[in-house]
Amino acid sequence: PCALGLATPTAIIVGVGKGAREGILVKDAATLEKLHKVNVVVVDKTGTLTKGKPELASLNNLSKQSDAEIIAILASLENKSEHPIAHAIISYAKEKNIGLLPVEQFGMMKGKGISGVINGVKYFVGSAKLAEEHSASLASLEKETSEGKTPVILVVENTVLAIAMIADQIKPEAVSAVKALHSLGIKVVMLTGDDKNTARFIADQVGIDEVVAEVLPEDKLNLIKDLQSGKFENWKLKIGNSSQGLVVAMAGDGVNDAPALAQADVGIAMATGTDVAIESAGITLLHGDISKLVKAIRLSKITMRGIKQNLFW
């Protein structure tokens, strides 16, 4: 009986130790055990597939204010946000020595954007969805978004003041990671709150099977639940037999990924992401290196093989 009791923990300890050396931090044995059964990996876009260090590519100023004034308003509002896209605008303002303005009544609209009052004027900053909600008419952004850029729109009283285009580079290891996941027979789904054209552009470059874009944080959670229960027809996903639930791993790095990471069979956080994402996940990948996800799955398979071998002996 002693040997039986040692067979499993010995293999798990070796597996967790090997993972740590490779920059894969495993929170508990159950996570390592579940990982070898995963047949679909859901990945967030910004900060997971892309570097999460976006830059301001262009500013289309539609107001009578100067570009510097528009950047000051955008940067002041974004300064209170944790989203990686916010850093692009703040760092641009710092580069150009544009000072920030005091913001009152700051508010966040999950998955849509932010709002705040500057000098008595209420501004909204966010996605095209947010602009539509404030019935602000938008020119087509098809060309820019199909080049992988993300629009950040500044709105005041049903009027679009400016559209900032943010570009984020793909992580060089993302392409090889997706290829390796495919070779293990695992489907990959990109899940993002970003514009659908931008998402499709990134997915095509990385070689991802399916894209679900323009989703709110609660949609991320619902998609994971639907994949687990096999009810994903509504999402128009072609990933195997829908009558059977899938074993889902979710990789993300943001505050809005946390509920989905907690719901997934295996939550995988990027160490470069937010604390709440890391806390919700069972595995953390150091340096936010997505290629370590493939190593983690292989490690899980080897560990399970080790357990069975130990039990046999």
Please identify every residue annotated as catalytic: 44
- Three-point CA angle 30, 173, 275, nearest 5°: 50
The CA distance from 8 to 15, in Å, is 11
Task: Spell out a b/e string for 138-175, using b for 16 or more CB atoms within 10 Å of the CB, else e.
Answer: eeebeebbeebbbbbbbbbeeebbbbbbbbbebbebbb
The CA distance from 223 to 264, in Å, is 10
Residue 231: CB atoms within 10 A of its CB come to 14
Six-digit token string for 274: 């937010």
The CA distance from 265 to 254, in Å, is 18
Is the Cβ–Cβ distance between 62 and 156 less than 8 Å?
A: no
Strand pairing category for 150-156 and 121-126: antiparallel
Six-digit token string for 186: 């695992």
Distance of CA 150 to the CA centre of its chain: 14
Is the Cβ–Cβ distance between 38 and 186 less than 8 Å?
A: yes
The neighbouring-strand residues paired with 188 are 41
The CA distance from 57 to 55, in Å, is 6
